[in-house]
Structure 1
Amino acid sequence: MIGFRYSAQRPPDPRRINDAVVQRFDHVYEVDPALMRDHVRQHDFPAWDTRRIVDSRWEHLAWMHDHWADSVISGEELMEDEPTGE
């Protein structure tokens, strides 16, 4: 069994970024939980679990590319192909 005291691992209070986004940790943006309460049950999420997920996201992305992508393009390349809408 894994145990922890949530009171010792409570994430920092969120900083508002805009009407829909908050930030608790640097470079980690979240949809404001208040906007989701009516649609998705909200759970207490310890700070260590957020850090674990953030620390492993590049490794996960690399794994997905290795196993599923024929090629990988950057966001800049993708935006170059977007119509300007004019």
Structure 2
Amino acid sequence: MLEVRVLFFARSRELAGTNETTVSLEDGSSTKTLLLLLFQQYPQLEELRGNFVFSLNHEYLGTDEEQQLKAGDEVAVIPPISGG
């Protein structure tokens, strides 16, 4: 098992009802596995499906990019930011 820290920003924080959580995953899990688990744990996040980016240890990932996770990784869920 591995644990990763998940940070929620802006609208994702509102939908999840928290600014961070720790998630336990099977060894060898990927960001895709994490995303599916987050949608199960926080169904309200479905509102953002396809409309946010992940960062893994402070590096942005493409919306379809999949990365293997390691224990202690930090993943951020970052929705689009509006403003001017």
TM normalised by structure 1 equals 0.22
Higher helix share: 1
* Greater length-normalized contact order (CA 8 Å, ≥ 6 residues apart): 2
Higher strand share: 2
Which has more radius of gyration? Answer: 1
